Amino acid sequence: MTHEAGWAHAPGALRGPSWLREPADPNHLVPHLWSSTAHKVDGELHVGGLPVADLVAEHNTPAYVLDEDDFRARARAFRDAFSSYDVYYAGKAFLCTAVARWVSEEGLSLDVCSNGELSVALRAGVDPARIGYHGNNKSVTELRRAVAEGVGRIVLDSFHEIERVAMIAQDTGLPVRVMIRVTAGVEAHTHEYIATAHEDQKFGFSITSGDAFEAVRRVQDAPGVELLGLHSHIGSQIFDSAGFEVAARRVLALHARVSDELGVTMPEMDLGGGFGIAYTTQDDPSDPAQLATEMSKIVEHECRALGIPEPRLSIEPGRAIVGPAMCTVYTVGTVKPVHLDGGAVRTYVSVDGGMSDNIRTALYDADYSATLASRSSDAAPVLARVVGKHCEAGDIVVKDEFLPGDVRPGDLLAVPGTGAYCRSMASNYNHALRPPVIAVRDGVARVVVRRETEDDLLATDMGDQ
């Protein structure tokens, strides 16, 4: 029953979520939440062979710490598990020149969905033929550049885009290779804002309404436009293959219908991905080999039932490569016990970042974990809430976490699993300076994205001219 003063005053509000267990030792790391090189030495967090306290001494906080070995290992794991597929890294999750190079060096392709992301990919020397261009509202300018650069595939999302690429093909005489994004009517078990295959949302052509078939027909009638295949994506932070099975069945049925009725054999198909990662102990993601086995069996079974050859497949792991490879390090500024009804006390731990460097908690009600990163503690754990420094009550970084009861100003806290959609969605709210990204490997640190400065902020402010 909801308390009249709000959820925080309800009985039991401080028990935390059912999946969160009080740890025997709040200094302990839960390994599957962290990158592979993360460990503690006398309570101090080390990543990539370096104490994070040393990184902070040089680069200050907040800062994103990117484990290069972990990133590369996860990229290779998907490449090897899906060896007969094309694996596309999601540039939108996190992209910089160094990461784009790592992606290319590890044999993956790259998805972009803006001119800016394309510029980063090209600057990194990524082969344009291994770049896919996404987006539901690509402008003529963006499409012209993608074609001129020789992007390997453009994923079409509307009839207007079909008209645009047909015009560009006619004007330039250059080949335009496209896929058609379809919505399979699948309700993925994820947050509403990151579920993308149900009917009532902005992406793709509906299979059920007939728009997807009509899109194929129009592309086939467009001179100079080469149709590679259908593209399906059911959402993000997906943990099981049930949704993929339903989507694959519907998309392959359309694939077969196109062959039967239009005489068109599409050589490729993209099954999407958006595979989940472990943000907290409640999450249990599948490993790439398991996902590859399950998804390949689904496609093999459906193609056999339909009597059609299997198309060349591609997937998009999404956050699953970069998400676990990064953590964010903060400095504690204040610790405030807040007394609530019934004698309950909630401990608010304020850090020097917040929703400007991680909007996901506020935007998606996302859960995160945290650990004391600069020392060990013998204090008993207390249920705490890690909050940011911005002028919003919803500026929460970690909703519920057990931290040592003696957490104090000056301590370092680290939050794992922040590689995806944190730096890429960071903002200058309250004119905050976006943090740097520090790549670490074998005891060596290098800044791959520098911290913003006040000069950066003022450079776009034209004053009173």
- Catalytically annotated residues: 391
Choose among 149, 63, 66: nearest CA to 112.
Answer: 149
| CA dist list (Å): 367 to 99, 335, 370 | 25, 21, 10
Distance CA 205, CA 110 (A): 23
Question: CB neighbours of 70 closer than 8 A, spacing ≥ 6?
Answer: 35, 36, 37, 324, 325
Choose among 309, 200, 201, 186: nearest CA to 248.
Answer: 186
| CA dist list (Å): 19 to 281, 322, 402 | 7, 25, 12
Phi, psi of 235, rounded to the nearest 5 degrees: 150, -160
Helix (H, G, I), strand (E, B) or coil at 444: strand
Helix (H, G, I), strand (E, B) or coil at 90: strand
Distance CA 316, CA 311 (A): 16
Q: Which residue has the tokens 């990204």?
A: 437
Choose among 388, 402, 398: nearest CA to 435.
Answer: 388
- Which residues share a beta bridge with 109? 88
Q: Name residue 50's amino acid.
A: L
Q: Which residue has the tokens 């907290």?
A: 280
Q: Which helix H or strand E contains 79, and what residues bound it?
A: helix 68-81
Q: Please tell me whether the peptide bond between 416 and the residue prior to it is cis, using omega within 30 degrees of 0.
A: no
Secondary structure of the chain: what % helix, strand, coil (to 5)?
Answer: 35, 25, 40
Q: Which residue has the tokens 């200094």?
A: 27
